[in-house]
Amino acid sequence: MHVKSATFIKSAVRPDQYPAAEHPEIAFAGRSNVGKSSLINTLVNRRHLVKTSSTPGRTQLLNFFDINAEAVFVDLPGYGYAKVPARIKSTWGPMVEKFLSTRRTLRGVVLIIDIRRRPKNEESNLINWLLEAAIPVILVLTKADKLSKNRRINQMKAISGDLGIPADNLILFSAKTRQGLADVWAAIDHLLKPE
Ligand SMILES: Nc1nc2c(ncn2[C@@H]2O[C@H](COP(=O)(O)OP(=O)(O)OP(=O)(O)O)[C@@H](O)[C@H]2O)c(=O)[nH]1
Ligand SMILES: [Mg+2]
């Protein structure tokens, strides 16, 4: 998609706060600080559409963004950050699960993994849950600029093995160098296509 306009619609916690379900949606999920907001900013070519932060766990709401009045991107709050208070942690699951399981305009989820880390149960559980719910998943390994080419390839193989997903299905990405941008867009465009 050629992005002509990208604007913040609103934040929400509960379904009655979601914006009207008018356009196909893509949600972005991943561990706190993994680079979800940076990926969205890179995709829409706006440096500051979505607030990014070096302090993990800042985004605690579902944030909806309109793209060209054609599609909606949803920045999901990050999971798995230890310093988030238990009260907030316990609301993450139900808030995100409610959204993912009830939003009829949702076309797929971009799951973002830091290429330097090995996926844990949170990632496997989310992937399995999405597969069961028949929600397509795009897997993105981000911060590719942080590793040498050799280490990138090794990590890609290791993560592919951990998740039981062919390495060909993992997209290497960097918000810093914009490596992989066209690949992520191609995968998103594919999900946004009318059936
Ligand atoms: N080098 C490098 N840094 C990145 C990349 N993507 C994100 N970052 C940095 O990682 C930090 C976190 O990025 P965010 O995009 O705010 O991450 P997030 O997943 O939205 O974080 P929360 O909303 O707190 O869960 C920021 O300091 C970014 O500049 C990347 O591809 N390469
Ligand atoms: Mg964020």
Q: For residue 20, what pLDDT is reported?
A: 96
Whether 1 contacts 70, CB under 8 Å: yes
Q: Is 41 in the pocket of ligand 1 (CB under 6 A)?
A: no
In-domain check, residue 11: yes
Q: Structure pTM?
A: 0.93
Extract the residue ranges of the chain whose pLDDT is less than 70.
53-59, 80-90, 195
Which ligand 1 atom is the nearest neighbour of the CA of 41?
15
Q: Report how far ligand 1's centroid is from the alpha carbon of 194 (Å).
A: 31
For residue 181, what is the domain's CATH number?
3.40.50.300
In-domain check, residue 116: yes
In-domain check, residue 71: yes
Supply 90's token pair: 């316990």
Q: Count the domains in the chain.
A: 1
Dihedral angle sign, alpha carbons of residues 55, 160, 103, 6: positive
What does the alpha-carbon distance between residue 54 and residue 41 come to, in Å, rounded to a whole number?
A: 15
In-domain check, residue 44: yes
The boundaries of the domain holding residue 65 are 6-192
In-domain check, residue 1: no
What does the alpha-carbon distance between residue 133 and residue 2 come to, in Å, rounded to a whole number?
A: 30
Q: Is 143 in the pocket of ligand 1 (CB under 6 A)?
A: yes
